[in-house]
Amino acid sequence: MYIMLIKLTRTVSKMAIMETKTARLTLLIDPVKKKAFEELCAAQDLTPSQVVRQMIRDYLERHGMDYATKSRIGAAESISAK
């Protein structure tokens, strides 16, 4: 298990710039929606933070925003496919 983790870490670090720092994002949400969101995340074996981070990445991508830790994996493939 430990050996696999090291190998995965090395592979991922070669593929993209990793996010090394975190920043807190606080938002207000209706308690009923929050509970439903947390239940859905748990049912999918994901944390709410994982889902929100993915939604943010998708939103930035959809609007053509670039950022320093953006994954470049598949970028050459998508360019050559056009």
The alpha carbons of the chain give a radius of gyration, in whole angstroms, of: 16
Element (H, E) at 56: helix 48-62
- pLDDT, position 75: 54
Residue 80 lies in a domain: no
**Phi/psi at 35 (5° precision):** -65, -45
- Residue 60: how many other CB atoms lie within 10 Å: 13
pLDDT by position in tens, the chain (length 82): 444 444 444 444 444 456 678 899 999 999 999 999 999 999 999 999 999 999 999 999 999 999 888 887 755 444 444 4
What confidence score (pLDDT) does residue 73 get?
Answer: 72
Residue 2 within a domain: no
Count of domains observed in the chain: 1
Contact 57, 1 (CB under 8 A): no
Instruction: For residue 49, give its domain range.
Output: 26-66
